[in-house]
Amino acid sequence: MLAATEIWIEAIAMSKPLRHMLAVMAMAMAAIFSFAIAPGTARAADTGAITVDGTVATRYDAYQLFSATVVDDADTDQKIATDVTWANDGVRQAVLPVLHDAGLDSTVSTAQVAAEWMNADGHMTTALATKLARAICNTGAVSVVLNAGTAAELPCGYWFIVADDDAIAQNEAGTAPIMALVGGSAVTVKPKAATPKVAKHVLEDSTAAWQKAADATVADGLYWRLSATVPAGLTAYDTYAVQFVDTMSAGLDPSKVAASMHVYVAAGAEGGFDAVACEDGNVSSTPAKGWTDITSQCKVSVEGSTFTVRTGDLVAALGGADAFAAGARVVAVYNAPLGANCNRGATKGNPNEVYLRYPRSPLADQSGDAGFTRTPSDDATAYTWGLSIIKRSSVGDKPLAGAKLRIVDDRGRILTADGTWSTNADACVTTGEDGHVELSGIDAGVYTAEEVAPPKGYATFEGKRTVTVTAEGLDVKQVAAAKPKVTVSAESPLRVDAADAGTGSIVLSLLNAPSKEASRGFMPSTGDRTLVLVAVLAAIGVAAIVVALVIKRGGGRREK
């Protein structure tokens, strides 16, 4: 939020009358407020018109600092303020200590001299304006409500205009207090503000790249990155904290979130979010150059599938207001693996959504949630695939039980009987009556199959055979644009039967030929369907020949 406005007072003479001019301060990024004085004839009146335009908020509060007689100077297009006095005694008591702390002589108590000091070069900063407005608000002073876009009449004098925090909606932000001199011709104030942004990415282990979509194996480490951009120009804030609010789908496991969470901050709103190095699907906890680990200053709360990460004071974390004025980047990285109940395939995926809470305005109370509003949500999605290998006879495709297989992934891990992956070299899986071996929830990659022992009556295939699963279409800028495509290739005797990206279902057959011993004799002991069918037809043929011969020999007569 570029909430930076400075008003200075140009003194033509350091005594009555004072000539005052409203102007926009030139800050580091841009001047973001403009004050327009509508043309018109100078008038001597007790009130002046003011309109707050723009879309920062729908409602504003106006607090008077000084009363004055205000008229327009037709020659200079400036306003002339005379008879400057405190708006009331409560304001005087609240404001003078702030001015004294800022450098005003501690013996000064009159509004006239205070106004002259505020007019001096370099005194009236955005930070000071915010402190003055906060001091007035804390007195319980009654404000005048200004509705955005609607002209209102205020008593002549100096006013602080602040956004009503309750009127700041999602993705909006209140600006720094605006000082306006009301009286004479109508005044129009146009506040502008930029808000923080949030984004979410997931680490694709095959490329070590942060993406909007990635695929992974169930239970493997799966790293997510939350990133927030705090825009430059926030000179009105004494403190500034943000809070990530993350909601995971039911297919993600939240049990490792709190222990794995690391939060980093870097100065400046530009420069990217590479806070840590990524290698082999893992994330380093050592911050990159220019980043500071602030995990110890943050609070992480996990409730079911939702968790929050609240930072400490970013102004202090960056070393002070000057560094914070250039903006900031905040990154939170954590591990949330896919769970056993996750969605397979591309139709649903396993989404993970985040939004960012940030202070409503420089005057908002940041001790609880009420002083914060939020950004729109952003998301990233993790996918996984299901692979079925069916042990079959090469003759007839009958499923075969009793085959012992060693299935190895591209990390060197071996599939176990309970469906998990192990580094135990003796691990293997055995096919049941349906011939199936299930790799439920796998990452794209290369898998090898080796036969430890064949089904009874079949020959072992020697060596290792590979299955390559490739997922494309995950390197997108928006999750909605992801259209994952899954392709599968396999080495014989593996055969690809089906691959459906939508359901994530990949089906392969692993074929075994009958052994030579089992093939001796007319009828195979395994009851191979194709060979059995041939044998039955041969027997039927012999019977038919015999019958035909009997009929022919009979010739219609009863002869043996």
Q: For 370-424, how does the pLDDT look when each residue is reduced to its tens digit (9 = 90+)?
A: 999 999 999 999 999 999 999 999 999 999 999 999 999 999 999 999 999 999 9
For the stretch 242-292, pLDDT in tens is 999 999 999 999 999 999 999 999 999 999 999 999 998 899 999 999 999
* 482 within a domain of the structure (yes/no): yes
Report d(CA 11, CA 435) in Å as an integer.
93
Same domain, 304 and 347: yes
Q: How many domains does the chain have?
A: 4
Same domain, 504 and 454: yes
Compare 503 and 193 and report the one with higher pLDDT.
503
- Tell me the CA distances in angstroms from 244 to 62, 210, 276, 302, one per residue in order: 32, 18, 19, 12
3-state class percentages of the chain: helix first, strand second, coil last, to nearest 5 = 15, 35, 45
pLDDT bucket at 71, cuts 50 / 70 / 90: very high
pLDDT at position 55 = 79
Q: Which residue has the tokens 């980043």?
A: 291
**Which of the residue ranges 1-5, 18-22, 448-452 has the most confident prediction, judged by mean pLDDT?**
448-452
Mean pLDDT (whole number) for 325-331: 97
Mean pLDDT (whole number) for 110-136: 91
Which among 99, 154, 161 has a CA at the least distance from the CA of 128? 99
Q: Which residue has the tokens 């055979």?
A: 465
pLDDT at position 527 = 29
pLDDT at position 252 = 98
pTM score, whole prediction: 0.83
The torsion angles phi and psi of 254, rounded to 5 degrees, stand at: -85, 0
Q: List 481's β-bridge partners, or say none.
A: none
pLDDT bucket at 38, cuts 50 / 70 / 90: very low
Same domain, 406 and 393: yes
Report d(CA 309, CA 186) in Å as an integer.
46
Report d(CA 161, CA 332) in Å as an integer.
36
Report d(CA 85, CA 69) in Å as an integer.
10
For the stretch 465-504, pLDDT in tens is 999 999 999 999 899 888 889 999 999 999 999 999 999 9
Whole-number mean pLDDT of the chain?
Answer: 85
Return the number of other C-beta atoms located less than 10 Å from residue 24's C-beta: 17
Residues in the chain: 560
Domain that holds residue 435: 385-517
Return the number of other C-beta atoms located less than 10 Å from residue 284's C-beta: 13
Instruction: Fill in the DSSP letter of residue 399.
Output: B
User: Residue ranges of the alpha helices (H) in 201-267?
Assistant: 257-260
Domain at 403, CATH number: 2.60.40.10
**294 has a pLDDT exceeding 80:** yes
With the C-alpha atoms ordered 505, 208, 198, 358, is the resulting torsion angle positive or negative? positive
pLDDT at position 29 = 27
Same domain, 176 and 72: yes
Compare 30 and 501 and report the one with higher pLDDT.
501
Same domain, 366 and 390: no
Helix 126-138 with 89-102: angle, nearest 10 deg:
150
Mean pLDDT (whole number) for 518-542: 30
pLDDT at position 12 = 28
For the stretch 413-436, pLDDT in tens is 999 999 999 999 999 999 999 999
Query: What torsion do the CA atoms of 134, 137, 140, 142 make, to the nearest 10 degrees?
Result: 160
Cα 331 to chain center, whole Å?
Answer: 10
Is the Cβ–Cβ distance between 340 and 386 less than 8 Å?
no
Same domain, 369 and 433: no
pLDDT at position 3 = 34
pLDDT at position 77 = 82
Is the Cβ–Cβ distance between 467 and 494 less than 8 Å?
yes
Q: Which residue has the tokens 């008038």?
A: 43
pLDDT at position 120 = 83
Mean pLDDT (whole number) for 331-335: 98
Compare 420 and 531 and report the one with higher pLDDT.
420
Domain at 253, CATH number: 2.60.40.740
Same domain, 362 and 476: no
The residue from 143, 170, 190 where one domain ends is: 190
Same domain, 292 and 329: yes
Report d(CA 442, CA 448) in Å as an integer.
13
Same domain, 356 and 502: no
Is the Cβ–Cβ distance between 205 and 184 less than 8 Å?
no
Is the Cβ–Cβ distance between 414 and 373 less than 8 Å?
no
Same domain, 493 and 402: yes
